[in-house]
Amino acid sequence: MIVKCSSCEYEINIPDKKVPEGKAFNVSCPKCKNKVRVDGRLKKDSEPEQEPIAATVPSKADDSASEIDTGLVVDSGFEEDEIPFYNENDKVALVLVDKELDSWTKTLETMDYKIQIAKSPEQAAHKMKFTQFHFVVLTETFERKNLEENEGYQFIIEMPMSTRRKMFVALMGSDFKSGHNMQAFACSVNLVVNEKDMTKLPDLLKQSIIETDTFYKVYKETLTALGKI
């Protein structure tokens, strides 16, 4: 889908796989950073094809103008339905924690990750449908739910392995032994972190990420040698 920015007229090329089907959504112009709202809803097959509608998103103080000027409604059920755009070499991290948020975001930023924060497991799952994250961190009992009830965690473990291996997943909890490989394996994640070990977090992440990258490098080389990829 190609949308023209209503401010600078830059043509924004949005990959089809990132367009929420049958929904309106916001997108930031990579050139001028103007926020544009796009109506991605398609007309019926019997009607002529119509270009997506784009409009500048009014300020929150002008709620009535938002409805009158655009006629668009973001109906995903989340406060934010914006598709961020990243450069090809950007590393992107999704953070879903209800404790130690500052510790995680500051540590990941020093490791050159671009950060997205999810406010609920449902929103985390929603974000992962449209963005290939390189790093995801979750709290074991977010909103006092166990992992089986956490939509974000369930979305991750149900991913095809070809997609899952591109993502490093960390799980934080009060009963974990930080860096314990068997606990991580049992939870289908790359790293477990005890919430009391935040001072050790930079070293834990660097070591575990290097180990994971090394493992998958050897794994890919083996598959290549066997002619499977």
Measured over the CA atoms of residue 79, residue 164, residue 38 and residue 21, the dihedral's sign is negative
Domain with CATH 3.40.50.2300 in the chain: 86-222
Query: Measuring CA to CA, which residue among 142, 149, 186, 190 is closest to residue 166?
Result: 190
Q: How far is CA 140 from the centre of its chain?
A: 18
Q: What is the pLDDT of residue 140?
A: 92
Three-state secondary-structure class, residue 3: strand
Whose tokens are 């089907």? That residue is 21
pTM, two decimal places: 0.65
The pLDDT > 70 percentage for the chain reads 76
Q: Please, what is the average pLDDT of the chain?
A: 78
Mean pLDDT across 98-112 = 95
Strand 2-4, strand 11-13: pairing:
antiparallel
The more confident residue out of 63 and 157 is 157
Classify domain 86-222 at the CATH topology level.
Answer: Rossmann fold (3.40.50)
3-state DSSP percent of the chain in helix, strand and coil, to 5: 35, 20, 45
Mean pLDDT across 57-84 = 39
**Packing angle of the helix pair 101-110, 201-225 (nearest 10 deg):** 60
Q: What is the pLDDT of residue 88?
A: 79
* Single-letter amino acid code for the residue at 214: T
Residue 192: is its pLDDT beyond 80? yes
- Residue 182 to residue 159: CA distance in whole angstroms: 21
Q: pLDDT-derived band of residue 227, with 50, 70 and 90 as boundaries?
A: confident
Measured over the CA atoms of residue 228, residue 191, residue 172 and residue 119, the dihedral's sign is negative
Q: What is the pLDDT of residue 34?
A: 76
The pLDDT > 90 percentage for the chain reads 41
Residue 79: is its pLDDT beyond 70? no
The structure tokens listed for 213 are 């990258």
